[in-house]
Amino acid sequence: MNYRCLLVGFMLGLPCVPAYSQDMPLTQVLIEGEGWELLGEGYDFTEGPAVDADGNVFFTDVPKSKIYKIDTAGKISLFAEETARTNGLMFGPDGRLYGCRNGEKKIVAYNKDGSFATIAEDVTCNDIVVNSKGEVYFTDPLNKQVWFVSREGKKRVVAKGFRPNGIILWPQEGTLVVTDSDAPHLWTFRVEPDGGLSFKERYYMPLTLPSGAKRPGSDGMAVDDAGRLYVATLAGVQMFDPTGRKGGVIAKPQRRFLSNVVFGGPRFNTMFVTCSDKIYHRKVKPTGTPYFLRNAKKTKE
């Protein structure tokens, strides 16, 4: 039994299971014969993939200030332009697309027609996560802090002292995971009822470093319904089981920078990655249901 897991799990409310060498290997994730398929190319820098309730995936081309939509048939269309270098994206339970509109130092929520409402102002922002209650967490690497925005629009710093980048919630939403641009590990926090964070802990370590690299380049993340965590890094998509034990690395579709990962498609069992000037996808075994749909399913049950 992994006693460290038990201790950390107690503090963070994590589901702990015995961590043997083959707890959750990549064979439980990858489908034999399925590989990366190119969906789109010719962008400057792709980022921020986010999935809506129907499985459509949206992503940004940050330098060009554009947001694109990939429908469930794989067709790509322009969703919004002049987005002020919007970076991280995530859909909320209200059906709006929340984004880090960093060129204007705002957190916004895009409507279906591409118009937007301001959620928070005077903040530098990079990546974002929205829980099933409509509350927002976002990273501020420039000032080395993580922010929380309530449903009423009140913002406050809830973590600091490291260089946060990607951010995600575990499926049960009781644990927040943040990547650190300067460290070979990730940070986990317990989410308190008021949105605050506690029990900061180094976790998901060590991240694999490619040959010659001094840092893992950990960026955006996704979680599947079983609690596995997927991290976009210089080495590829690194997968960890719920105890924090590494299950393997999914090779990058090309040698250029891999920035983010998300589950999408009609059944949420297609993995999408943003990789520099291109975006790819592949079918996988697990599903990664959005928070607002998981919450609705639990309510019905």
**CATH code assigned at 101:** 2.120.10.30
Q: What's the average model confidence in pLDDT over 30-37? A: 97
Identify the DSSP state of 30.
B
Confidence of residue 103 (pLDDT cuts 50, 70, 90): very high
Task: Count the residues in the chain.
Answer: 301
Mean of pLDDT values over 242-264: 95
In which band, very low, low, confident or very high, does the pLDDT at 16 lie, cut at 50, 70 and 90? very low
**Could you tell me the end-to-end alpha-carbon distance of the chain, in angstroms, rounded to an integer?**
32
Residues with Cβ within 8 Å of 201's Cβ and at least 6 positions away in sequence, in order, are 8, 11, 12, 187, 188, 189
The whole domain housing 232 covers 31-300
**Contact residues for 277 (Cβ-Cβ < 8 A; gap 6+):** 41, 42, 43, 44, 45, 46, 256
Model confidence at 47: pLDDT above 60: yes
Q: Report if residue 17 sits inside a domain.
A: no
Q: Give pLDDT, residue 19.
A: 37
Give CB contacts under 8 A, 24+ apart, made by 152-156: 153/119, 153/120, 155/120, 155/123
Q: Is residue 19 part of a domain?
A: no
Average the pLDDT over 90-112 and give the result: 98
Distances (CA, A) of 223 to 115, 175, 240, 249, 290: 29, 12, 10, 15, 9
Position 39: which residue type?
L
pLDDT at res. 279: 99
Question: What is Dmax (Cα atoms) for the chain?
Answer: 53
pLDDT exceeds cutoff 70 at 3: no
Q: Which residues contact 44 (CB under 8 A, 6 or more apart)?
A: 61, 62, 63, 64, 277
Q: Is residue 38 assigned to a domain? A: yes
Q: What is the average per-residue pLDDT within 56-74? A: 98
* 2 domain residue, yes or no: no
Q: Is residue 11 part of a domain?
A: no
Torsion of CA 61, 293, 96, 56, to 10 degrees: 40
| E strand or H helix that includes residue 197 | strand 197-203
The reply to whether 258 falls in a domain is yes
Instruction: Dump pLDDT digits (tens) for 152-205.
Output: 999 999 999 999 999 999 999 999 999 998 889 999 999 999 999 999 999 887
- Report the alpha-carbon distance of residue 92 to residue 63 in Å, rounded: 24
| 225 pLDDT higher than 60 | yes
State the total domains in the chain.
1
Residue 9: inside a domain:
no
Are the beta carbons of 58 and 231 closer than 8 angstroms? no
How much is the pLDDT for 25?
Answer: 86
**Which of 38-52, 216-230, 287-301 comes out lowest in average pLDDT?**
287-301
Q: How far apart are CA 293 and CA 256, in angstroms?
A: 33
pLDDT digits (tens, 9 = 90+) for 114-157: 999 999 999 999 999 999 999 999 999 999 999 999 999 999 99
The owner of tokens 């939509």 is 69
Locate 70 and state its tokens. Answer: 């990939």
12/9 Cα distance (integer angstroms): 5
Could you tell me which residue, 206 or 62, shows the higher pLDDT? 62
Q: Strands 229-233, 106-110: parallel, antiparallel or unpaired by DSSP?
A: unpaired
Exposed / middle / buried, residue 84 (Cβ in 10 Å: 0-12, 13-18, 19+): middle
Q: What is the mean pLDDT of residues 202-230?
A: 91
Mean pLDDT of the chain: 91
pLDDT of residue 295: 63
Between 37 and 2, where is the model more confident?
37
Q: What is the mean pLDDT of residues 205-222?
A: 89
In a domain, 276, yes or no: yes
Task: Report whether pLDDT(282) > 50.
Answer: yes
pTM attached to this predicted model: 0.90
